[in-house]
Each structure stands twice: as structure tokens, then as C-alpha cells.
């Protein structure tokens, strides 16, 4: 029989899934009441955040014979996913309502996707990991094509669906081979088998090597690492702007949750063998992402390639973990840097897309960088907020982006050797290169003249609350010890079973 403590451990996930269905029921009873739907979704997500914070105090719980775990990492990821969903909901009404896009369908689809992300972050079973991944990405395809009358949205959604389906199939083949040759779907059992391989007690068959290669390829697709990134710019540009903001952070953080559960917990005995792959992926991803972003004149495509570059920075933390000896401080610091970067990036990038959505409240405003011309003179508040988010993405102290980059670069230096310090240098050079395209937008806002007949920027109450929250978090995440402490606890939870 399921105990009350186990029911409490499942409560955050159950609340979000129930909230997704409640939104649909509310819309059926009171159709067309977007304000009511928004209020229900916001109140429900705030309640889920409170419940998750309360559950965190109850300690670690394993359910379903260890397939689902409620540990510090699960709680950290759940709070992050719920915050992403809450901010996306707050940013959406100002954009969706003028375009006659239904808020209820948007909110319920988003909540189902978030429930998949939460299941993914808590899974310690290969099959449950795949189920959580599919529950995350299938609603994501629908959100990408949410503006179904827009040809760009449909095109981006089709590319996202096709490449996403291929990557899911590749990942599933890898999971099947791993299951077949280790004899279990449990993450801990896979790790035990690979420990035997390292000790010489088990043979590393070519088929298992192929399975691990397929897992790596599938995971690289999900985080949009180079050269598996081709779907990202078109999906981001075509999607409604609030959806683009969500796609840039929600699925990315969830995919890194998959990598943490799979590579850090299951495949850590072989981490010395896959560290070279991660180093190459990190270097290619951050370099190509930044170089192509320099050439973009569309703010959503620019932020799409910027998102690819930030994936490379996060991979530096994973590389530092893989290159460090077991139990070393650099190993722990690498995981901490990966998680802290995910936390900081989520809020500063969502904030940037929130400003873009506010600028596009009037239908007809394009996402060209030229549409930001003279924004500092016609809407000083949004211009200052955009400047804050772009400076944080650049890595200017004392904003969250600076600490995020420091926390992934320093472990790479601590790991030693030849390749990790070189990767740290590449990360620093890429951060300097990224400043050119971020600062270009700031110059356009404050130096160039506004277009003729350019209107001001007005924001609704929900949009204003969302922008204020992301701005405050972008400023305080790096300097308030609480955020460092909870991230450290999440990293320690990952290392506990190793």
C-alpha cells in the first residue's frame, strides 16, 4: 500500500497533471474567459511550488521499486520547471489575446509538457526516462505550431517534429541495447554492470558500445548540440514568442536532467571514455552558436543561436565532471556549475523573450532587430530590462550570467590535464565574442532613432509581474547564498549513489 509519505512525494507531479486537466474543464464551463484561465493556472502553479518546497523538507523517497525518486535534485528541478511554466503563463496573455489564440489550450498543453519534464527529472529507470521525455516533447511540437495560420510556425513545428522524432527513435534504440546487454532498466543496475566492466568482471560488447553511442547522439539532439542543432533556429523563429521563450529553456533544462540521470548516474563508471566526446561537443556548440549569432538580424534567430552557444557552456560543466577523479572537488564543482548555469540561464533568457513578446503585443511588429530601434526613447522600462538580460547573457558582473560562467569555467581549470583548461579558454573567448551581438541590440535601442510613427510599448499586469520577477532573479541569483545552497544540495544528491 502506498504510504502518505509516498503520496506526498508524488504530489507536485500529480498537481501539475491535475491542473492541466482543470484548465480544460474551466474553459469548458466558462469558454473564452482567458483571464480566468490565466488566474487558475497561476494559482495552481504557485500552489505546486509551495507543495514542492514543503516536500523538500521530508527527505529522499524512492517509489515504484526505485524507478521514481524524490531527492534534492528532483526538488530542485521541479521548482525550476514550475517557475519556467509560471513565467511563460504570465508572458502569454499579452501576446496570445491580440492574435485570437486560445489561452486555455496553450496553458493546458504547456502544463502537460511540464509534467513530462518533472517526470523526467525524477526517473531512475530507462523506460520511465523515455516516457517522461515523450510527455515533454509531444506537447512541445503542438506549442511550436500553435499559431497554425502562420506558415513560419507550421514550418518550424514540422521540422521540430521530424528531427525530434528521429532523435527519440535513436535514443530509444540506445536504451533498448543498454537494457538488453546490462539486463535491467534500472539506472543503478546499469551503473553496477558498468562497474563490473571497468573492473574486468564483465565484457564490454560492441553492441553495448553502439547503444551508448546512440544514447549520446539522441541526448545531443535534445539539447541542440552541434551538429544536431538544425531544428532550433526555424522552430524558435516560427513559434509564438512566449512559446519560443519556453522552448529555449524548458526542454533544454529537461534534456540536461535526462543527461544527469543517464550519464552521471548510469554511465559514470565509463566517464573517462565519454569525456572526449563531451569536450568536442562543448567546443563546437559554443563556437558555432556564437559565430552564427553574429550574423543574424532577427532577434529570435539570434537568441536561438545564442541558446545553442549556452548549451556549449553548460556542457563545460559536464566535461569537468567527467574529467575529474572520483570524489574530487572538481567533480562536484562541475555538476554544481551545470545546475547553476541551468538555473541562471532559465530566468535571464526567459526575461529577454518576455521583452520581445511585450514589444510584439501589437500584431504586425516583426522580430527584426531593427524593430528595437530607439526603444530607449519610446519605452525606457522595457529597454532597460532588455539591457539587463542581455548583459547577464553576456556574463557581465555581478549579474547571474557572470556567476554561471564562472561556475563552469573554474571546474574545467581545476580538472587539469590538457583539454579541459583549453576548453575553459575557448569558453572565455566565446563569451567575449558573444558580447558583440548582445551589445549590438543595446546600441540599436539607445543610439539609433526610432522608426517613424513608432508606438510605445504597453504591458499588461501579468506581463509586468513576469518581467519584474525575471529581472529580480537575474540580479540576485548570483549573490544570494540560498540559490547556491539549493544548487549545491542538488549536485550532492547526484553524487550520493556513485
Report the domain count for the chain.
Answer: 1
pTM: predicted TM-score of the whole model, two decimal places: 0.94
Residues 6 or more apart in contact with residue 364 via CB below 8 angstroms? none
The answer to the question of residue 481 being in a domain is yes
Establish whether the linkage from the previous residue to 492 is cis, with ω within 30° of 0.
no
Please report the pLDDT score of residue 498 as a whole number.
60
Q: Is residue 86 part of a domain?
A: no
Task: Please give the sequence-ordered ranges of beta strands (E in DSSP) within 257-313, or none if there are none.
Answer: none
Q: How far apart are CA 118 and CA 304, in angstroms?
A: 24
Kindly state whether residue 325 falls inside one of the protein's structural domains.
Answer: yes
Residue 450 domain flag: yes
Asked if 233 and 309 count as a contact pair (C-beta separation under 8 A), the reply is no
Q: Answer whether residue 105 is part of any domain.
A: no
In a domain, 58, yes or no: no
Produce one character per residue of 291-325: b if its CB has 16 or more CB atoms within 10 Å, e if not: ebbeebebbbbbbbbbbbbbbbbbbbbbbbbbbbe
Mean pLDDT in order along the chain per 10 residues (498 residues): 72 92 92 88 94 85 84 93 95 88 92 94 90 92 86 83 88 89 86 82 79 87 83 83 91 92 86 86 93 91 92 93 84 92 94 90 78 85 93 92 93 86 93 92 88 72 92 92 92 79
303, three cell numbers: 537568441
Q: Structural domain of residue 451, as residue ranges? A: 269-498
**How far is CA 77 from each of CA 44, 73, 393, rounded to the nearest angstrom?**
18, 6, 21
Domain membership flag for residue 162: no
Report cis status (omega within 30 of 0) of the bond before 341: no
pLDDT given at position 55: 87
Task: Assess if residue 384 is contained within a domain.
Answer: yes
Amino acid at each position: 500500500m502506498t504510504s502518505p509519505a509516498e503520496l506526498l512525494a508524488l504530489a507536485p507531479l500529480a498537481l501539475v497533471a491535475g491542473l492541466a486537466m482543470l484548465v480544460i474543464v474551466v474553459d469548458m464551463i466558462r469558454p473564452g474567459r482567458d483571464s480566468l484561465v490565466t488566474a487558475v493556472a497561476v494559482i495552481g502553479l504557485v500552489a505546486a511550488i509551495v507543495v514542492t518546497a514543503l516536500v523538500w523538507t521530508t527527505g529522499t523517497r524512492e517509489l515504484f521499486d526505485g524507478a521514481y525518486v524524490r531527492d534534492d535534485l528532483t526538488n530542485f528541478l521541479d521548482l525550476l520547471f514550475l517557475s519556467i511554466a509560471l513565467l511563460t503563463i504570465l508572458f502569454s496573455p499579452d501576446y496570445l489575446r491580440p492574435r485570437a489564440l486560445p489561452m486555455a489550450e496553450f496553458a493546458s498543453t504547456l502544463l502537460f509538457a511540464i509534467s513530462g519534464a518533472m517526470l523526467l527529472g525524477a526517473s531512475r529507470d530507462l523506460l520511465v526516462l523515455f516516457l517522461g521525455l515523450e510527455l515533454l516533447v509531444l506537447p512541445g511540437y503542438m506549442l511550436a505550431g500553435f499559431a497554425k495560420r502562420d506558415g513560419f510556425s507550421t514550418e518550424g513545428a514540422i521540422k521540430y517534429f521530424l528531427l525530434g522524432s528521429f532523435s527519440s527513435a535513436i535514443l530509444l534504440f540506445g536504451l533498448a541495447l543498454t537494457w538488453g546487454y546490462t539486463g535491467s532498466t534500472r539506472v543503478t543496475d546499469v551503473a553496477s554492470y558498468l562497474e563490473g566492466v571497468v573492473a574486468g568482471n564483465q565484457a564490454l560488447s560492441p553492441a553495448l558500445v553502439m547503444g551508448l553511442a546512440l544514447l549520446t547522439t539522441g541526448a545531443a539532439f535534445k539539447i541542440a548540440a552541434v551538429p544536431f542543432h538544425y531544428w532550433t533556429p526555424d522552430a524558435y523563429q516560427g513559434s509564438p514568442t512566449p512559446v519560443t521563450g519556453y522552448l529555449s529553456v524548458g526542454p533544454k533544462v529537461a534534456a540536461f536532467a535526462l543527461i544527469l540521470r543517464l550519464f552521471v548516474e548510469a554511465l559514470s563508471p565509463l566517464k573517462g571514455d565519454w569525456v572526449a566526446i563531451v569536450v568536442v561537443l562543448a567546443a563546437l556548440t559554443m563556437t558555432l552558436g556564437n559565430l552564427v549569432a553574429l550574423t543574424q538580424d532577427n532577434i529570435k534567430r539570434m537568441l536561438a543561436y545564442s541558446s545553442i552557444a549556452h548549451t556549449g557552456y553548460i556542457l563545460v560543466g559536464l566535461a569537468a565532471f567527467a574529467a575529474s577523479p572520483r570524489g574530487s572537488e572538481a567533480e562536484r564543482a562541475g555538476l554544481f556549475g551545470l545546475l547553476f548555469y541551468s538555473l541562471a540561464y532559465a530566468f535571464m533568457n526567459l526575461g529577454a523573450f518576455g521583452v520581445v513578446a511585450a514589444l510584439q503585443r501589437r500584431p504586425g511588429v516583426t522580430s527584426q532587430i531593427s524593430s528595437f530601434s530607439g526603444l530607449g526613447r519610446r519605452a525606457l522600462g522595457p529597454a532597460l530590462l532588455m539591457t539587463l538580460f542581455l548583459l547577464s547573457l553576456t556574463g557581465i558582473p555581478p549579474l547571474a550570467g557572470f556567476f554561471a560562467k564562472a561556475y563552469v569555467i573554474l571546474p574545467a581549470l581545476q580538472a587539469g590535464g590538457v583539454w579541459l583548461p583549453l576548453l575553459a579558454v575557448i569558453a572565455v573567448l566565446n563569451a567575449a565574442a558573444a558580447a558583440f551581438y548582445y551589445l549590438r541590440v543595446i546600441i540599436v535601442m539607445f543610439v539609433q532613432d526610432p522608426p517613424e510613427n513608432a508606438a510605445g510599448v504597453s504591458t499588461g499586469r501579468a506581463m509586468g509581474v513576469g518581467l519584474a520577477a525575471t529581472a529580480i532573479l537575474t540580479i540576485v541569483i548570483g549573490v544570494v547564498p540560498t540559490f547556491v545552497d539549493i544548487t549545491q544540495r542538488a549536485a550532492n544528491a547526484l553524487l550520493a549513489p556513485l
